Structure 1
Amino acid sequence: MSIYGVEDFLARAKAYIEIGDENALRHACLELRFSLESIVYQRLRKIGDKLPRSVYKSWQPQKALKLLLSFEPRADQDITLDICVETVDGAPSGNRQHIGDYKMFSVKWLNKSYNKLGKFLHLTSLSEDDSPPQINATDLQEILDEIERVSTASLVLTMNSITAVACAVCKSDMYVSLSQIEEGSVVECYKDSCGAKHNIVKLDEGRFTADRIGFQSVPCNKCGKSFSIEDVKHGELKDCWNCSQTHVVGWGYSAWPIPEKSTV
């Protein structure tokens, strides 16, 4: 069995693709989605206990893999691991021993393929009545081939350390990796109702801060707690993460200094 254990999903998908009618191909889509989810979620679990499953258990694979990439920028790239064998005197011999291969989907491919499979797991929407999406056995076979390629990996690598830090807005745990600290990344709160952005600023001796510098928060009109509005567009609705009070956010401007009213 492969390290990801998706053989049963792929075997059923192959059988459905061989049958080839629309009903069978829809079942193949479901099995292929299960395969993608299994591989991505297992890869994310390898980060360890520092990233609780509650952070990503309800996420679709695209968002989960994006999170993984924020921690490990090369996590969606194939890697071959070899070691150099030493001679008796401790000098490198030049002979290499193959340890294994790490394989993973690219984010771009995963986004495209996962969404394509999803189109055929629901009834056609009203907007698609005139040109419903066409399920295609050839497309499904190409997706299956890529999943099979990744499933032949012999290694699952994780190469980062992760630290928990409180969101400056809602106080929920966020998770910051060593690579994000080194690169001075922008990290978002994982709580969907918050999503506040933070600048990661490296200090000394491995320390860092998560600052809201350059980002905007306003107090809730009901509970008074601050909520982030940096990604809110003019006229958009935004719920308070604490009490769920809905707000409408609008931008405006005026001359400065404010002109004095003329008197007659």
Structure 2
Amino acid sequence: MSIYGVEDYLARAKKYIEAGDENALRHACLELRFSLESIVYQRLRQIGDKLPRSVYKTWQPQKALKLLLSFEPRADQDVTLDICFNTVDGEPSGDWNRIGDYKMFSVKWLSKSYSKLGNFLHLTSLAEDETPPQINASDLQAIFDEIERVSTASILLTMNSITIVDCAVCKSDMYVSASQVEEDAVVDCYKDSCGAKHNIVKLDEDRFVANRIGYKSVPCKKCGKDFSIESTKHGELKDCWSCGQTHVVVWGYASWPIPEKSI
């Protein structure tokens, strides 16, 4: 069995694609989605206990893979790992030994393919009545081929460390990687109802801070707790992360100083 263990999903998907009728192809879409989910979630588990499953278990794979990329910027790129066991004056000497191949989808491909498969797993909406999404075996075969390619990976790599910090707004756990510290990255709170942004600032080799400076929060009209609005669009509804009170967020501006009125 492969390291991702998706053989059964792929075997069933292959039979459905070969059958070729619409009902069979819809079943193939489901098996292919299961394959994508299994591969991405297993890759995230390699980060270890510092990233509990509760952070990503309800997420779709494309969001989960973006999270992984925020920790490890090259996590969606294929890598071949070779190692040399002999050195001379600190430099590798002699034969190199192949450890294995790491393979993963690109975020762009995953987002497109996962959404395409999902289009065929529900009834056509009223908006799609005139131009319903078309399902065909060739499109599903292309997705199958890429999943099968990734499933042949022989190793799983994770090359980062994770530190837990509190969100400055809702106090939920946030997860910051060594890569994000080195890049002075911006990290969002993982709680969907919050989403507050933080600047990661490295202080020295062992310390960093997650600053909320420069971003916007306002008090809830019901419970008084601050909630973030920096990612909120004009006229958008935003629920308080604490009590659930819904607010409408609107922006306005005027010239300053205010012109004097003519008498």
Matches within 5 A, 1:24-103: 24-86=24-86, 92-103=92-103
Aligned residue type for 1:221: K
Identity %: 83
Matches within 5 A, 1:1-264: 1-86=1-86, 92-259=92-259
For residues 41 and 114 of structure 2, what CA distance do their matches in structure 1 show? Answer: 14
TM-score, normalised to structure 2, is 0.96
For residues 91 and 115 of structure 2, what CA distance do their matches in structure 1 show? Answer: 51
Aligned residue type for 1:43: R
SS in 2 for 1:174: strand
For residues 91 and 63 of structure 1, what CA distance do their matches in structure 2 show? Answer: 41
- Shift, 1:88, TM fit: 8.8
SS in 2 for 1:256: coil
For residues 143 and 51 of structure 1, what CA distance do their matches in structure 2 show? Answer: 29
For residues 62 and 89 of structure 1, what CA distance do their matches in structure 2 show? Answer: 45
- Shift, 1:55, TM fit: 0.3
For residues 91 and 257 of structure 1, what CA distance do their matches in structure 2 show? Answer: 69
SS in 1 for 2:115: helix
SS in 1 for 2:130: coil
Deviations 1:68-107 (A, max 9, x none): 0000001000000001231699863241110100000000
Aligned residue type for 1:140: L
Deviates more, 1:245-254 or 1:62-71: 245-254
SS in 2 for 1:112: helix
- Shift, 1:258, TM fit: 3.7
For residues 181 and 15 of structure 1, what CA distance do their matches in structure 2 show? Answer: 47
- Shift, 1:186, TM fit: 0.5
Deviations 1:35-58 (A, max 9, x none): 000000000001000001000010
Deviations 1:112-150 (A, max 9, x none): 100000000000011110010110100101100100100
Over the aligned positions, Cα root-mean-square deviation in angstroms equals 1.5
SS in 2 for 1:85: coil
- Shift, 1:253, TM fit: 1.6
Aligned residue type for 2:102: Y
Question: Which residues of structure 2 form unaligned runs of 5+?
Answer: none
SS in 2 for 1:100: strand
For residues 85 and 70 of structure 1, what CA distance do their matches in structure 2 show? Answer: 32
Number of residue-to-residue matches in the alignment: 263
Aligned residue type for 2:204: D
